[in-house]
Structure 1
Amino acid sequence: MATTTWTRHHVLSLADFTPIEYDTVLQTAASFREVLSRRTKKVPTLQGQVVANLFFESSTRTRSSFELAAKRLSADTLNFAAATSSLTKGETILDTAKTYLAMGADMMVVRHREAGVPQAIAAEMDRLGSRVGVLNAGDGQHEHPSQALLDLFTICTLLDPDHPRLELLKDKKIAIVGDILHSRVARSNIWSLTATGAEVHLAGPPTLLPQLFAAYGTQEGNQGAKEPLPITHDQSPITNRKLFLHWDVEPALQDADFVMTLRLQKERMTQHLLPSLREYHQRYGITRDRLKLCKPDVKVLHPGPVNRGVEISSDLMDDPQFSLISQQVTSGVAVRMALLYLMGGGKI
């Protein structure tokens, strides 16, 4: 493992992550990936600590991955289910969090359909003077830090299995295609992937692009964006980030090294934003024919769950020559072990 002191108490966003922090997570996850390959897949690192999984929104991969990660680190877990909780009796979210604090939780993994809930819980824990660390497992249309980190880990370990690191992606071209407007995964990946020095190309229907990005979707940009989009954090511009926008998928895919396709999040759409799923697949679906525009060794990622035949053709999703989807799920346990370990241990 790396020999760096980890000072981040909460993991709520990747917007202010430093290159050192990214590399620390990648190297720590690589160590835990080796642990997960052993016959005995458990280490006593967090023995005696309690991880509370507060999922106010349905989840399969993220929730199971965090629970397994905590157990592999020998932590005790408390799993919250909103439908059978006191929320149905009128209890507030902050009171729920304080209940788990009183039970002895050392870390809280929080997922909620509304943006800002993990931040609010973290602020309340800090106000109370507790040492509880809060990890954002996805909040509304804001961010999903651990998903972006596992995507980064999946790509970097493909390029160098023994020493995954940020610099491996410098000048690589990565296309993110689909429902960017509703995707917290896309937002976190924009922060992480542009931090590597990669060129990140967004492609999607104008109706599924955030208003800020849609303003830059000119006809010229349609043919192939020439100038990167501005990126800001806390109202300050961030320079040297390569982020480009396309309304058509073809220029985004041209010579791409990696393609990340996003799920159409119909449950978050409040109005009719697409003519039909069939038309969406015809214009933006990732197929074998479309991959011919990319580099010959291109790889495809998807954060899941997948709408087969919509964002990606079913045969391509299951083809190990191109698809990294299974590896993403596997990487998720190692990366979430790394995050819990760093937040719970402090030094590596």
Structure 2
Amino acid sequence: MEDFNLIATCAAGIEAITANELKHLGYAVQTENGRVRFKGNMRDVFETNLWLRTADRIKIVVAEFKAVTFDELFEQTKALPWDEFLPMDAEFPVSGKSQKSKLHNVPSVQSIVKKAIVDKLSTVYHRRTHLPETGNLYPIECAINKDRVMLTLDTSGTSLFKRGYRLEKGGAPLKENMAAALVLLAHWYPEKTFVDPVCGSGTIPIEAALIGHNIAPGFKRQFACSSWDFVEASLEEDVRNEAFDKADYDKELDIYGYDIDGKMIDIAKLNAREAGLLHSIHFKQMAAKDFKTDKEYGVIVANPPYGERLSDQESVRKLYRQMGDVYRPLKTWSKYILTSDLQFETFYGEKATKRRKLYNGSLRTDLFQYWGQKKPRN
């Protein structure tokens, strides 16, 4: 089976987490801004699409080269063995982006790349008229950075954050892969209590339950490469069967999701049921200030409202004060709180053990981390 140069794309700030996931799956990695490089065959493509919790997409790198003119871009693109990937009837939309490069007009870049691939396939398949593009989808991207061109084939299709369980969402939902990143950053393990005090539509507790049961996050969805002509029909089925066997559905988990809004709790339950995990998460309508626990050790992961609008800021900072009053006494609990309010510590009333810059979509946020005292060794 042929090996490809592959990249897992991810949000800025979580590259190291995605790289760590790939290492745990057994891959050698190279981390760059917004992506992690690794090598693998089509089995690895399916495996990483199924198992990576924090990635956006898995892409095959078809080629990389320098181009400063449209002629260079056209000729080098046309010279590539596109027929090894694309059948005659392939539907192959070309997306593009360009940074700090002479070829900065993205629509022109897309048009030139498309024309070069059409020319190549028309020659190989002896077509004088237009290619039909009535077959399966093969999404291609041309990304140019500092005059370096990278041509990729997107194996995922829709972004990997779309797990397939979120039937409804709230006003400012957190993407599933960012929620998974927060759980992984919290170093939570399934024997420990896990609490999201502002759970909204339930994404963070659901991602924790997927991790706790060792369920592949991509299990309930399809990928673009599932229907590609050059892929062995049984390959995906084999990888999915292996993933199913690795899940531990019987593991007892102690996960809680609370929200002040009863409607959001109903939505969270609906989403958890769709994920097959309602039995693993205790959802309850409750304000953050009313949280009490008799558990000695646990982890709190929260994505509270940020108060981006000035009209919301006062109520949001009141919530931060309440969180501080309730959580500060919990010395053995670890707390991880994501917000774009960089003055969070002032209102919470305690300096974080560590801060980590993350991007929630295009919004700069910080993850304020308060590490709990460790359990003494016997």
Q: Which has the higher contact order (CA 8 A, sep 6+)?
A: 1
TM-score over 0.5 for the pair: no
> Shorter chain as normaliser: what TM range?
0.3 to 0.5
For normalisation by structure 2, the TM-score amounts to: 0.39
Higher radius of gyration, 1 or 2: 2
User: Which structure features the higher share of strand residues?
Assistant: 2
